[in-house]
A and B are shown apart, each in its own frame.
Chain A
């Protein structure tokens, strides 16, 4: 399936992935995957659990090296960068981990202040203002004295989000942001992702398997299965697709290209084999 190319490729796309091939041991995780992540929009990468969606985020961030293929972020081929340049680029990328990954021995305030203190020489007064602003954006300014252990899962993720935007990055990657949330928290996260993306001019990449939630905010969706891009397009395109893979995933059908039954011998034979 050929990737969508807009104009001259890197113009409209912040991240381009070309012919990516990645293996873990003998298992092929990605086989000839190509995608374009458009600037300023929310792109979702979806697929059944275990297809390596988190691995893709790590490849984009340069934490893992592809076996073949190219990944370009903001015009720079990320795996050809020197360590110092890679770190510079990472300052402009934010990532929200599934569990939030807050530093447990620091307070909420210190967590959000961390990237500011490490990478800038701003005064503590300036930092305080910035931290409170970021916390205000996610609705947790009043909680800045709490410790991560005192936060609920949803609150922890919002603090992590505030931390991810602390340095005003150009893009944010969300790793399974909807997992295990109650509907209210889910609604808050959805709202925030869309709001921040538009208000701050970010490019967002959301990795998820929650089709209903993601379809509400994504501008473009890439559906990955068996290490390949199965389908891509706007949520409407996916909903109306005739492809069996897409249909099974989008509509949550129990059986289809992803089989219900784990492979095994025929039923009758297995039952009668006992004697």
Chain B
């Protein structure tokens, strides 16, 4: 009898605490959105000056883009190979392996390319960006810059945001192209699909404006905007302690991933849903 009462009390407490956390969640979210938007405006305001210092931006493109190349390139090849293999397995029963090229290319160009490279970017470059900015905040480097009459938004935050925004579509292009090559390798070299039909069916199905521009370019630009915004915000907003920084980097990866996936659904519906 006593056990029964304890059990009910515990369950009630669990639900109550979930409810409490849920209620706290939304006001907090609105507050963060507000702070994040203010930060975004200040960054955008600092962008023109940042463009006048291309050296800073180039250095950041190196840190965010070039250093992400290994993971992007290797992942691209593997994803393409998996698509080739899975596609073959599913098409071979219908004798439709000639369509494999089209399948791999469409999957990559429309979805996998921009989405997966954005997720990888969040994990590698986004978290590094958050950690770097958080560390600068914790060691008072940003404050000392302000004391030296240098606006940290112009000097530190805007160049990084801009560089990330440039790097994202570049990485997505590389990921997608390598993915298609990976799929081609598996399909033609390993599985015996005819090379001619692989490429010609692909070319017949993939449209430049509707698929490549919409998919790879526009999607990756949108994802890049969001990923870099979140990364910079979490770094700037974090508690200036080592625990605060590590929580902020986790939040960057989680929030960027969720936002990218949600946005992908919206963009896909807008771009490809009409058919």
- Judge A-B direct contact (beta carbons within 8 Å): yes
Q: Which residues of A contact B (CB under 8 A)?
A: 61, 63, 87-88, 90-91, 93-95, 97-99, 101-104, 114-115, 118-119, 160, 163
Q: Are A87 and B147 CB-contacts (below 8 A) given A99-B140, A103-B141, A104-B141?
A: no
A95 to B149, Cβ gap below 8 A?
A: no
Q: Name the A residues within 8 Å of B150 (CB-CB).
A: 114-115, 118-119
In the bound complex, what is the Cα–Cα distance between A95 and B147 (angstroms)?
A: 7
Find out whether the CB atom of A97 lies under 8 angstroms from the CB atom of B144: yes
Q: How far is the CA of A99 from the CA of B142 in the complex (A)?
A: 13
Further pairs besides A101-B140, A118-B150: 14, Cβ < 8 Å: A87-B149, A88-B149, A90-B147, A90-B149, A94-B147, A97-B144, A98-B140, A101-B139, A102-B141, A104-B141, A115-B150, A118-B148, A160-B144, A163-B148
Contacts of A114 in B (CB 8 A): 148, 150
Point out which of B136, B141, B148 has the most chain A C-beta atoms below 10 A from its C-beta.
B148
Task: Name the residue on A nearest B138 (C-beta).
Answer: A99
Per-residue CB contact flags for chain B residues 73-87 toward chain A (1 = under 8 Å, else 0) read: 000000000000000
A23 nearest CB across to chain B (Å): 21
**Which of A63, A101, A119, A160 has the most B CB atoms < 10 Å from its CB?**
A101
Q: Given the complex, which residues of B lie within 8 Å of A97, measured CB to CB?
A: 140, 143-144
CB distance from A57 to the nearest CB of B (A): 9
B146 on the A face (CB < 8 A): yes
Closest to A83 in B: B151
Q: How far is the CB of A138 from chain B (nearest CB, A)?
A: 17
Q: Are A63 and B146 in contact (CB under 8 A)?
A: yes
Binding site for A on B (CB under 8 A): 135-136, 139-141, 143-151, 155
Interface pair B140/A93, CB less than 8 Å apart: no
Given A118-B150, A119-B149, are A95 and B144 also a contact pair (CB < 8 Å)? Answer: yes
CB distance from B59 to the nearest CB of A (A): 9
Interfacial chain B residues near A87, Cβ < 8 Å: 149, 151
Contact A63–B143 (Cβ < 8 Å): yes
Whole-angstrom distance between the Cβ of A270 and the nearest chain B Cβ = 30
Q: What's the minimum C-beta distance from A147 to chain B, rounded to whole angstroms?
A: 14
Q: List 30 A-B contacts (CB under 8 A).
A: A63-B143, A87-B149, A90-B148, A90-B149, A91-B148, A91-B149, A93-B147, A94-B147, A95-B144, A95-B147, A97-B143, A98-B140, A99-B139, A101-B139, A101-B141, A101-B143, A101-B144, A102-B141, A103-B145, A104-B139, A104-B141, A114-B150, A115-B148, A115-B150, A118-B148, A118-B149, A118-B150, A119-B148, A119-B150, A163-B148
Docked CA distance A207–B149 (Å): 21
- How far is A52 from B155 in the complex, measured between Cα atoms in Å? 29
A180: shortest Cβ distance to chain B, in Å?
A: 15
Top 7 nearest A-B pairs (CB, nearest first) are A101-B144, A90-B149, A87-B149, A101-B140, A95-B147, A97-B140, A91-B149
Considering the chains assembled together, what is the distance between the CA atoms of A163 and B146 in angstroms? 14
Which chain B positions have C-beta within 8 A of A94?
147
Chain A residues near B149 (CB, 8 Å)?
87-88, 90-91, 118-119
| Chain A contacts for B141, CB-based, 8 A | 101-104
> B61 CB to closest chain A CB, in angstroms?
15
Question: Which residues from B are CB-within-8-Å of A90?
Answer: 146-149
Determine the distance from Cα of A102 to Cα of B143 in the docked complex, in whole angstroms. 11
A103 proximity list for chain B (CB < 8 A):
141, 145
Closest A residue by C-beta to B151: A87
- CB closest residue in chain A, given B144: A101
Q: Please, which residues of chain A bring their CB within 8 A of the CB of B139? A: 99, 101, 104
Q: What is the bound-complex CA distance between A95 and B135, given in angstroms?
A: 20
CA distance A98 to B144 in the complex (A): 11
Chain B residues with CB below 8 A from A63, complex form: 143, 146-147
Bound CA span A87–B148, Å:
8
In the assembly, what is the distance between CA of A94 and CA of B144, in Å? 9
Contacts of A99 in B (CB 8 A): 139-140
Q: Report B40 CB to chain A, min CB distance, Å.
A: 19
How far is B140's CA from A163's CA once the two chains are assembled, in angstroms?
A: 15
User: How far apart are the CA atoms of A87 and B149 in the complex, in Å?
Assistant: 5
Closest to A169 in B: B148
Shortest Cβ gap from A92 to chain B (Å): 9
- Give the complex CA separation of A97 and B143 in angstroms: 9
Question: B228 to chain A: closest CB distance in Å?
Answer: 19
Residues of B within 8 A of A61 (CB): 147
- Which residue in chain B gives the minimum CB-CB distance to A87? B149
Minimal Cβ-Cβ distance residue in B for A84: B149
Taking CB atoms, residues of chain A closer than 8 Å to B145 are: 103
**Which residues in A have their C-beta under 8 angstroms from that of B140?**
97-99, 101
Question: For B148, what are the chain A residues with a Cβ–Cβ distance below 8 Å?
Answer: 90-91, 114-115, 118-119, 163
Return chain B residues, CB-CB under 8 Å to A119. 148-150
A47 to B127, CA, bound (A): 40
CB neighbours (8 Å) of A104 from chain B are 135-136, 139, 141
- Smallest Cβ distance from A156 to chain B, in angstroms? 10
A73 to chain B, nearest CB (A): 13
Q: How far is the CB of A171 from chain B (nearest CB, A)?
A: 12
Residue of B nearest to A166 (CB): B148
